[in-house]
Amino acid sequence: MTKREFTPEKEQRFNRSGTGRWILSHTLRYPQFPLGMLLAAVLNNFFYSSVQVNIGRAFDVITAPDWTSGALLAVALTTAGWAAGQGLTGLMRNYAAEFLAQRVERDTRDELYASLLGKSQTFHSRQRIGDIMARATNDVHMLNLMYSPGLMLITDSAMGTVVPLFLVAQLDPRLLLVPGIFLVLLAVTLVDYNRRLNPVSIAMREQFGTMNAGLAESIAGIEVVKANVQERYEWNKFIGNARQFRDYFVEQGVIQARYLPLLMFSLAWAAAFLHGLLLWRAGNLTLGQVISFMGLMNALRFPTFISIFTFNLVQLGIASGSRILEMINTETELDENPAGVARPIRGEVTFEHVSFSYNGTARAGGNGTGTRGAGKAEGGFPVLKDISFTARPGETIAIVGQTGSGKTTLTRLINRIFDVNSGRVLVDGIDVRDWNLESLRSQISTIEQDVFLFSRTLAENIAFGSATATMVQVEQAAQEAQAHEFITGFHNSYQTEVGERGVTLSGGQRQRVAIARAFLTNPRILILDDSTSAIDSATEDQIQRAMRRISSERTTFLITHRLSQIRWADRILVLRRGRLVDQGTHEELLARSPDYCRIFARCE
């Protein structure tokens, strides 16, 4: 079982030790459908073949010298009965296959989504969104197509081969000669065909992911593309990717076009006819039996023809399945530690000789077992080095330092977006890795300059993280965050849609929405990452007031270079290239720290 940060309540477990086993365990979750499909396919082909046999019998009836219409009627009625049975079981077979396909699609999509929610930030920083989207939509659907029509037709083809042969043997075992040779050749060809098709199927799925990722990235960054007039470059890149995808399609078409079994079948059919006639001439078969035999032989045409597509569908399905499983199985660094400490936080934060690098060795969380994050290279570039300090409950700690000095990184270690490489981060004296992740994170809020808002109403955005909040509470929080005024200025007030389908907010407005959100969740530890913000002084004043209000009564980490904010910090940490070079009040630091001086350009 891989580690994860989130588990849905009613979780279904599947065997994830290999693509085949995983697909099988999904299939067996609904045993009634594959069983029903198999049974219906057997009966369906039995009925179909019986119709062929009966047609031959009808010939024997009418070629007999003293035939009666009663005998012919009996044959006709049984044929009609078989045909009705064929229709009914066909319906059953398709129904079972379709249900199975849709349910597996739903289950795998749920499984993938839950697993994505449980992955660490490190994982998500590495992944390209477009590729994830391709897997979560297109690949999941390919899995559906693998069942229906893919596996449904394969089951049907298998039964559509076995049952007619069984009936042929009943006519005369010698008639098995030609279809037997044909089937051996067909099997050999199919193996070779699939061997050639397989790499193309895999490459095609991969290329689709790459194309999608490129597309998603240029659309997400469309503003940058436009501002830098890079439309042509992006266009060419996309065309290149799309061309490659098309090439794989053509390659697949070429392999399919060289598929010989259909030609082989025509030859086999002619040979079978000859064989049947020879046996008839020798007096071993009646004419009706020859006709039955040819009818049964003809039943093999469909499986032969459809095998061009069905096996390809299954291959694409398996390739897709392994891409989905690969994502689900990707190791993630953190785990949710459900058995960890879960209780109200007082707000003391201690760093003890903390070192950290983004691509270094990550000691995974959970009761300090000390296992390493899988697949990580040793010794990445250290972003934080040997940091030690303590923030008492309720204190406001400002963090200053040049850009890239590690301020944001330091705060990410508190709510375990990342885990330290060495040293410890303690909250209320307990290692953050020994806290229950949900309990820890739900009591820590981060407000960044670049606040992400969902395409939902403003009220929903504010209440994000506190599902039970009433409208009155939402408005109160907005008021405290100095956001009420601009929100009520919108036509739909709190019901205004944000983002894609609604209004877009300015940086300062977003920030206040985030502050309102934090007022509602009422965290014990608050992180305000404001280092790069540049806003007009009227807005700044409002935001300041909002920030000041929210930072009282809780431990606050304040990343800022605004003197007005730094002044109300109890203490200031000065970072330089990942090291904590000094700490103290504004006046103390101005007097003694050259690094601090440099930041405010107050030194000569």
Q: Which residues bind ligand ATP (CB under 6 A)?
A: 125, 358, 383, 401, 403-409, 531-532
Q: In the complex with Mg ion, which residue's Cβ is closer, 409 or 555?
A: 409
- CA dist 86 and 423 (Å) reads 72
Residue 564 touches which of ligand ATP, Mg ion, none (Cβ within 5-8 Å per kind): none
Residue 403 touches which of Mg ion, ligand ATP, none (Cβ within 5-8 Å per kind): ligand ATP
Q: Are 555 and 391 in contact (CB under 8 A)?
A: yes
Which of 54, 115, 405, 408 binds Mg ion (CB under 5 A)? It is 408
Minimum Å gap between C-beta 400 and Mg ion is: 11
Minimum Å gap between C-beta 452 and Mg ion is: 15
Stretch of 280-288, 295-303, 331-339, 408-416 contacting Mg ion, by CB under 5 A? 408-416
Minimum Å gap between C-beta 586 and ligand ATP is: 19
Minimum Å gap between C-beta 596 and ligand ATP is: 15
User: Tokens 């934060």 map to which residue?
Assistant: 349
User: Tokens 């289950």 map to which residue?
Assistant: 107
Q: In the complex with ligand ATP, which residue's Cβ is closer, 305 or 358?
A: 358
Q: In the complex with ligand ATP, which residue's Cβ is closer, 109 or 376?
A: 376
Residue 433 touches which of ligand ATP, Mg ion, none (Cβ within 5-8 Å per kind): none
Q: What angle do CA 368, 373, 374 make, to 5 degrees?
A: 140
Residue 409 touches which of Mg ion, ligand ATP, none (Cβ within 5-8 Å per kind): ligand ATP
Rounded to 10°, the helix 177-220/261-281 angle is 160
Q: What tokens were used for 154?
A: 């394969």
Q: In the complex with ligand ATP, which residue's Cβ is closer, 365 or 578?
A: 578
Residue 565 touches which of Mg ion, ligand ATP, none (Cβ within 5-8 Å per kind): none
- CA dist 211 and 293 (Å) reads 51
Cβ density class 441-475: b for 16+ within 10 Å, e for less: bbbbbbbbbebebeeebbbbbbbbebeebeeeebb
Q: In the complex with ligand ATP, which residue's Cβ is closer, 358 or 568?
A: 358
Minimum Å gap between C-beta 533 and ligand ATP is: 10
Minimum Å gap between C-beta 345 and Mg ion is: 24
Minimum Å gap between C-beta 531 and Mg ion is: 5
Q: In the complex with ligand ATP, which residue's Cβ is closer, 164 or 406?
A: 406
Residue 87 touches which of Mg ion, ligand ATP, none (Cβ within 5-8 Å per kind): none
Q: In the complex with ligand ATP, which residue's Cβ is closer, 496 or 531?
A: 531
Over 345-392, what HEC string results? CCCCEEEEEEEECCCCCCECCCCCCCCECCCCCCCCCCCEEEEEEEEC
Tell me the three state secondary structure of residue 12. coil
Q: Are 252 and 197 in contact (CB under 8 A)?
A: yes
Minimum Å gap between C-beta 428 and Mg ion is: 26
Minimum Å gap between C-beta 531 and ligand ATP is: 4
C-beta neighbour count of 75 within 10 angstroms: 18
Residue 436 touches which of Mg ion, ligand ATP, none (Cβ within 5-8 Å per kind): none
Q: In the complex with ligand ATP, which residue's Cβ is closer, 350 or 408?
A: 408
Q: 443 pairs with which residues across the strands?
A: none
Q: Are 426 and 525 in contact (CB under 8 A)?
A: no
Minimum Å gap between C-beta 556 and Mg ion is: 16
C-beta neighbour count of 254 within 10 angstroms: 11
* Burial of 118: CB neighbours in 10 Å, binned 0-12, 13-18, 19+: buried
Across the beta sheet with 444-448, the strand order is: 430-431, 422-427, 349-356, 384-391, 579-584, 571-576, 396-401, 555-559, 525-529, 444-448
Q: In this structure, what are the phi and psi dihedrals at residue 387, rounded to the nearest 5 degrees?
A: -90, 130
Residue 401 touches which of ligand ATP, Mg ion, none (Cβ within 5-8 Å per kind): ligand ATP
Q: In the complex with ligand ATP, which residue's Cβ is closer, 56 or 382?
A: 382
Size of site (CB under 5 A) for Mg ion: 1
Q: What tokens were used for 116?
A: 């994505």
Which of 235, 287, 282 is CA-nearest to residue 56?
Answer: 287
Q: In the complex with ligand ATP, which residue's Cβ is closer, 319 or 399?
A: 399
- CA dist 168 and 176 (Å) reads 7
Residue nearest to Mg ion (CB): 408
First to last CA, the chain: 59
Residue 298 touches which of ligand ATP, Mg ion, none (Cβ within 5-8 Å per kind): none
Q: In the complex with ligand ATP, which residue's Cβ is closer, 20 or 404?
A: 404
Binding mask 221-240 for Mg ion (x = CB under 5 A): --------------------
| Residues found near Mg ion in the complex (CB under 5 A) | 408
